[in-house]
Amino acid sequence: MKALNAETTIVRNLRNAIARGTLMPGSPLLQDELAFRFKVSRVPIRDALKALEADGLITFLANRTAIVTVLTVEDIEEIFNIRRMLECDLIRRATMLATSIDQREVQKILSQLDTATSGTQFAKLDREFHAAMYQPAKQPRQQVIVDKMGQQLARFYGSTLDFRSYHQDCQGSHHEIADAFLRREGDRAATCLDRHLTLAKQKILALVSINKE
| Predicted pLDDT of residue 210 | 62
Q: Indicate whether 83 and 47 sit together in one domain.
A: no
Domain that holds residue 60: 3-68
One domain for residues 40 and 137: no
Q: What is the CATH number of the domain that holds 139?
A: 1.20.120.530
Residues 100 and 156 in one domain: yes
Beta bridge partners of 180: none
Q: Are residues 30 and 122 in the same domain?
A: no
Residue 146 and residue 78 share a domain: yes
How much is the pTM? 0.86
Do 177 and 148 share a structural domain?
yes
Count CB-CB contacts under 10 A for residue 28: 12
As separate numbers, helices (DSSP H) first and strands (DSSP E) second, the chain gives 9, 3
Task: Answer with the one of 68, 101, 124 that is the final residue of a domain.
Answer: 68
- The predicted-structure confidence for 128-162, as pLDDT tens digits, reads as follows 999 999 999 999 999 999 999 988 988 887 655 66
CATH number at residue 60: 1.10.10.10
**Among 51, 68, 85, residue at a domain's last position:** 68
CA distance 179 to 182: 5
Which residues of 135-195 form beta strands (DSSP E)? none
What would the mean pLDDT of 92-103 be, rounded to a whole number? 98
Average pLDDT over residues 63-78: 93
Sheet holding 28-29, edge to edge: 28-29, 66-68, 58-60
Q: Would you state the pLDDT for residue 169?
A: 79
Residue 41 has pLDDT above 80, yes or no: yes
Q: Are residues 39 and 138 in the same domain?
A: no
Same domain, 90 and 147: yes
* Torsion on CA atoms 153, 158, 162, 167, rounded to nearest 10: 90
Q: What is the pLDDT of residues 101-116, one digit of tens each?
A: 999 999 999 999 999 8
* Average pLDDT of the segment spanning 16-35: 92
Number of domains present in the structure of the chain: 2
Q: Based on the domain organization, do 55 and 159 belong to the same domain? A: no
DSSP character at residue 135: G
Please check whether residues 114 and 166 belong to one and the same domain.
Answer: yes
Could you tell me if 77 and 38 lie in one domain? no
Does residue 131 sit in the same domain as residue 201? yes
Where does a domain end: 68, 84, 116? 68
